[in-house]
């Protein structure tokens, strides 16, 4: 739907320390990253310890924060946690949070958390890779002298998206009181639709969820004569909105006594009057 923005490769490596003891919630953070479109991001990783022990579980959290938007952006990020050991059969990765995350406002952060259970004699390293568009390698070397190993991967995705919904513009409606089959139908588009509200002269009369590309229809039958302003507002999961307004004009239905006398009836009356006048004139003739 939108353009994809490439973000330069940045690599951050945390070297192995033989006597590594770290405080809880150790954070490793990159400098500010700027996309080719000019938007800026901050990526960080947190782990509860780097002093690995066998038979323990460790928590990893990766966060993406939007620092600034340069116009509309639409970036997709596949985030992977790579865990490498000498034997891949003796450790597990369990995802605590997963699925699609949406980042749409400056200062917003979306985080991913994994738990890694270690039950292996020769662990190698942990790495986090953030997609093909926004890539960050954070490696924790445990046994750098070991040359090979196996890998298990836990993948989740996020989406950075700053597009408002779109909605088509429909024509005004005119009809006469009592006519039926008068409807307003809109079609809106967004990858992450949320809700819509329809107002008539400032009062909400209909609301609910909407689906990308599916019609939103409202009947406007049964109105008294007059002019009505309808406004629809659609919003997406990010709170971005689109609106359209329509004027519905209802004309009064003509009353029975408002109908003109038929021309044929007028002709008959004129004929009778003419005949009466002729008779009077003939009677007066000597």
Highest average pLDDT, of 6-10, 59-63, 152-156, comes from 59-63
> Mean per-residue pLDDT for 127-136?
40
Of the two residues 78 and 257, the one the predictor is more confident about is: 257
Of the two residues 207 and 260, the one the predictor is more confident about is: 207
By residue count, the chain amounts to 286
Highest average pLDDT, of 23-27, 98-102, 236-240, comes from 236-240
- pLDDT recorded at residue 42: 66
- pLDDT recorded at residue 124: 39
* CA dihedral of 195, 112, 62, 64, whole degrees rounded to 10: 0
267: confidence class by pLDDT, cuts 50, 70, 90: low
Q: What's the mean pLDDT when you consider all of the chain?
A: 64
> Mean per-residue pLDDT for 236-265?
78
What pLDDT digit, counting tens, does each position of 181-234 carry? 999 999 999 888 999 999 999 999 999 999 999 999 999 999 999 999 999 999
Question: Residue 89 — φ and ψ, nearest 5°?
Answer: -85, -5
Question: Is the confidence at residue 14, as pLDDT, over 60?
Answer: no
- CB of 82 closer than 8 Å to CB of 153: yes
Least confident of 7-16, 137-146, 205-214: 7-16
Contacts of 202 (CB under 8 A, 6+ apart): none
Highest average pLDDT, of 18-27, 109-118, 175-184, 248-257, comes from 175-184
- pLDDT recorded at residue 187: 98
Q: What does the domain layout of the chain look like in residue ranges?
A: 10-161, 166-254
70: confidence class by pLDDT, cuts 50, 70, 90: low
238: confidence class by pLDDT, cuts 50, 70, 90: confident
Among 60, 2, 62, 6, CA closest to 33: 6
For domain 166-254, give the fold: Immunoglobulin-like (2.60.40)
């Amino acid at each position: 739907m939108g353009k994809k923005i490439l973000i330069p490769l940045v690599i951050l490596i945390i070297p192995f320390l033989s006597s590594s003891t770290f405080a809880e919630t150790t954070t490793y953070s990159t400098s500010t990253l700027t996309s080719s479109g000019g938007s800026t991001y901050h990526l960080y990783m947190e782990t509860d310890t780097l002093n690995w022990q066998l038979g323990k579980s460790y928590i990893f959290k990766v966060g993406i924060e939007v620092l600034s938007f340069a116009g509309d952006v639409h970036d997709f990020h596949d985030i992977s946690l790579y865990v490498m050991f000498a034997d891949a059969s003796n450790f597990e990765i369990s995802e605590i949070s997963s699925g699609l995350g949406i980042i749409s406002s400056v200062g917003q952060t979306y985080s991913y958390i994994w738990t890694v259970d270690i039950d292996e004699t020769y662990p190698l390293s942990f790495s986090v890779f953030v997609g093909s568009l926004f890539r960050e390698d954070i490696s924790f070397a445990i046994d750098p002298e070991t040359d090979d190993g196996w890998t298990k991967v836990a993948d989740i995705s996020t989406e950075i998206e700053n597009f408002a919904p779109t909605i088509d513009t429909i024509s005004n409606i005119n009809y006469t009181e009592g006519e039926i089959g008068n409807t307003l139908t809109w079609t809106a588009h967004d990858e992450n639709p949320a809700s819509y509200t329809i107002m008539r002269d400032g009062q909400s009369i209909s609301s609910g969820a909407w689906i990308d590309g599916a019609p939103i229809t409202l009947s406007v039958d049964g109105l008294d004569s007059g002019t009505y302003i309808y406004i629809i507002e659609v919003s997406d999961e990010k709170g971005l909105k689109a609106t359209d307004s329509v004027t519905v004009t209802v004309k009064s239905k003509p009353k029975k006594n408002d109908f003109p006398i038929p021309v044929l009836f007028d002709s008959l009356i004129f004929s009778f009057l003419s005949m009466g006048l002729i008779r009077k004139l003939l009677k007066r003739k000597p």
